[in-house]
Amino acid sequence: MDSKHSALCEGVEALAQSDGDIAKLFSPRHDAVLSLLARYAAEIELFNPAYGLVSARDTRELIVRHILDSLSPLGIIKRLPESREMRAPAAGNGEMRVADVGSGAGLPGIPLAIALPAVNFSLIERMGRRAGFLRNVQAALSLSNVAVEEADMQKAAPGRFSVVAFRAFRPLDPAILKSLFRLCVEGGVLAAYKGRRAKIEEEMAALEHLTDGWEAIPCPVPLLDEERHLVVIRRPGF
C-alpha cells in the first residue's frame, strides 16, 4: 500500500489494539480490509470534486476524519445484539441488520460493512447522484452485504433494522428522532456518531422523554485528538 495510505494502516492497527473484538474481526482479513478501505477512499477522491461528498483537504484527512471515524465504534456496534434483545427482521436470516441513514458518501455504512461482512447493511440516501455513487462503490468493491435505497427516511419501509446508524443529523430534534425510530425493529437502537460529551448531554436533555434511555460511549478515533462518542439511543415501545 502506498505511503499516502499510511494513516489507514496505522489507524486500523490502532483500532485492533484498542479492542479485542475488532482485532478478531481484522486478524483473518487484515490485507483484504485495508485494500477495500483504500479502494473506497480512492472512489471518494475521484468523485468528490463533482459530487461534494465529504469535506477533506487531502487523503490523510479523508482517512482519519471520515473512514477511521466511521470505524471507531466498530466493537461497540458489533456487541450491541449481545447487550440488547433485538427481534430479528421478518425477512432475513436472523442476523443483525443495520441502516446507515443519510448515508451520503457511505459513511459510516461502507467502512462498517467492509469490517462486518456477515452483517447486512442498507444505505439510505435521498439524493440521486449520491445514491448513484453508493451503487457504484457497492459494485466496484463487490460488497454483497450492502444494499442502496434511494429514498427519504420517512418513506423507507419501517421496522426492519436492529441498528440505525447515522452521522448526518446535527442536532437531533423530536421529528427526526421519531422518523429514525420508525425504521427500528422492536428492541432496536439508534447509533448516533457524536462529538463532545457536554454537547451530547445538552442535545439529549430535550429528547430523553422520547426514548427508552440513552448512553454516550467514548470511541476515540486513531490519529485524531478530538472527543468522539457513539450515542446509543433505545427505541421506546410503541
The whole-angstrom separation of Cα 97 and Cα 163 is 7
Q: 148 by DSSP, 3-state: which?
A: strand
pLDDT value, residue 82? 78
Q: 188 by DSSP, 3-state: which?
A: strand
pTM for this predicted structure: 0.94
* Grid cell in block for residue 215: 448512553
pLDDT value, residue 3? 63
pLDDT value, residue 95? 72
Inter-CA distances, 140 with 12, 36, 133, 135, Å: 22, 10, 10, 9
Q: Which residues of the chain fall short of a pLDDT of 50? A: 90-92
pLDDT value, residue 170? 81
Give me the phi and psi of 188, to 5 degrees please: -75, 165
Inter-CA distances, 26 with 15, 43, 83, 199, Å: 9, 22, 22, 32
pLDDT value, residue 91? 38
pLDDT value, residue 139? 98
Peptide bond into 218 cis (omega under 30): no
In the CATH hierarchy, which top-level class contains the domain 72-234? Answer: alpha beta
pLDDT value, residue 84? 64
The whole-angstrom separation of Cα 233 and Cα 121 is 19
The whole-angstrom separation of Cα 123 and Cα 102 is 8
Chain length of the chain: 238
Residue 26 CA to its chain's centroid (Å): 17
pLDDT value, residue 90? 40
* Grid cell in block for residue 145: 452485504
The whole-angstrom separation of Cα 166 and Cα 125 is 11
Can you spell out the DSSP letters for 195-229? --HHHHHHHHHTTGGGSS-EEEEE-PPTT--S--E
* Grid cell in block for residue 156: 423507507
Q: Find out whether 109 and 120 touch, Cβ atoms under 8 Å.
A: no
